[in-house]
Each structure stands twice: as C-alpha cells, then as structure tokens.
C-alpha cells in the first residue's frame, strides 16, 4: 500500500465512523466535492498535505490524530 492509498483509506474510515459521505466531508472542509473524490481515486498518484489538512479541519481532527493510525505505521519504505 502506498502513502496515498493509506490517506484515502483513512479518510474512508473516518467518514464511515461518522456516517458521512464524501460530499458532506467536502462541505465541512470548504473544498469542492471533486477535490475529495479525486483524493479517493486510486488512479490519482498524489494528494497534498494542504488538502489533507483542510479535510482534517472538516472532521475536527488534527493532522497528528489523522496520521496516528496503524495504516501509516505499517507502510513500507517508498524509495525509488
């Protein structure tokens, strides 16, 4: 799993826990729905930390809380 995949999966988990859809996350975060859907799209290679921060703000969590998850602890190195 890549870092980008882990980010998308983490947002999916958080939305499921709060029973909200990506459109509602976009509204809460003040971003367009297309921003959220493109972040969730597996074919998209990157997501910016600024976007992650906005989405975290929309969920009322810190970046530390977002990244404090086994998904990120178990990632392999991505040296290319």
> Is 80's pLDDT higher than 80?
no
The secondary structure of the chain, three-state, reads CCHHHHHHHHHHHHHHHHCCCHHHHHHHHCCCHHHHHHHHCCCCCCCCHHHHHHHHHHCCCCHHHHHCCHHHHCCCCCCC
Domains of the chain by start residue, with CATH: 3-73 (1.10.260.40)
Please tell me the predicted confidence (pLDDT) of residue 51.
94
Please tell me the predicted confidence (pLDDT) of residue 22.
94
Tens-digit pLDDT profile for residues 20-75: 999 999 999 999 999 999 999 988 888 899 999 999 999 999 999 999 999 988 88
The mean pLDDT of the chain is 92
Tens-digit pLDDT profile for residues 53-63: 999 999 999 99
């Amino acid at each position: 799993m890549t870092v980008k995949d882990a980010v998308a999966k983490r947002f999916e988990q958080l939305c499921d826990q709060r029973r909200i859809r990506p459109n509602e996350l976009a509204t809460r975060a003040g971003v367009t729905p297309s921003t959220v859907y493109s972040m969730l799209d597996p074919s998209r290679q990157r997501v910016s930390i600024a976007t992650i921060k906005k989405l975290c703000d929309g969920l009322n969590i810190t970046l530390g809380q977002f990244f404090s998850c086994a998904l990120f602890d178990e990632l392999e190195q991505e040296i290319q």
